[in-house]
Amino acid sequence: NTINFAFFVCCRALIFPLLIREGKPTPFFTFVLALLFCAFNGYLQGRSLTTYAIYPAGWLCDSRFITGFLGWLIGMAINVHSDHILRNLRKPGETGYKIPRGGMFEYVSGANFFGEILEWFGFALACYTIESLAFALCTLFILGSRARQHHK
């Protein structure tokens, strides 16, 4: 799970921004706060899983782990696909608002947010730690409010 968490953080922090063609500039202060949050959260999750979490033999076959891993995997697939749709929404040089279509956008207006929330609740179930649950709840509250704003 630590490897999965590191992989996603790497994708979100390094790969995703490089794939964006054009966009609004991010204020430096916002960038620093996001960087500090990701670094601190990554440390907390990694420390929790490598130092404090104790799993019984056979944990990888436990229904909680399997369900959580599948939730994480499905959430990540939704998130990555939704980000792809959003990145390709406008043609080069085009501006203005467009409503995304396809994938989970046919069911929810914030499919990328939904995918990420599902992903981290799956991660929390698979890890079964208070730290992973805390991160999932933070993700729900932060991205839930952003999704609501985007929907309006």
Per-residue pLDDT tens digits for 40-94: 888 888 889 889 999 999 999 999 999 999 999 999 999 989 988 988 887 777 7
Name the pLDDT band for 36 (thresholds 50, 70, 90). Answer: confident
Average pLDDT, the chain: 84
**Contact in structure between 88 and 94 (CB atoms under 8 Å):** no
CB 65 within 8 A of CB 49: no
Q: Is the pLDDT of residue 6 over 60?
A: no
Instruction: State both tokens at 97.
Output: 């608002």
pLDDT of residue 116: 92
Neighbours of 133 (CB within 10 A): 16
What H or E segment, with its residue span, contains residue 19?
helix 16-19
Task: Give the best-scoring range by mean pLDDT among 22-26, 36-40, 46-50, 126-130.
Answer: 126-130
- Looking from the CA of 27 toward its CB, the CA atoms found within 13 Å total 3
pLDDT at 20 over 70: no
Contacts 24+ apart (CB under 8 A), 139-146: 143/110, 143/113, 143/116, 143/117, 144/113, 144/117, 146/110, 146/113
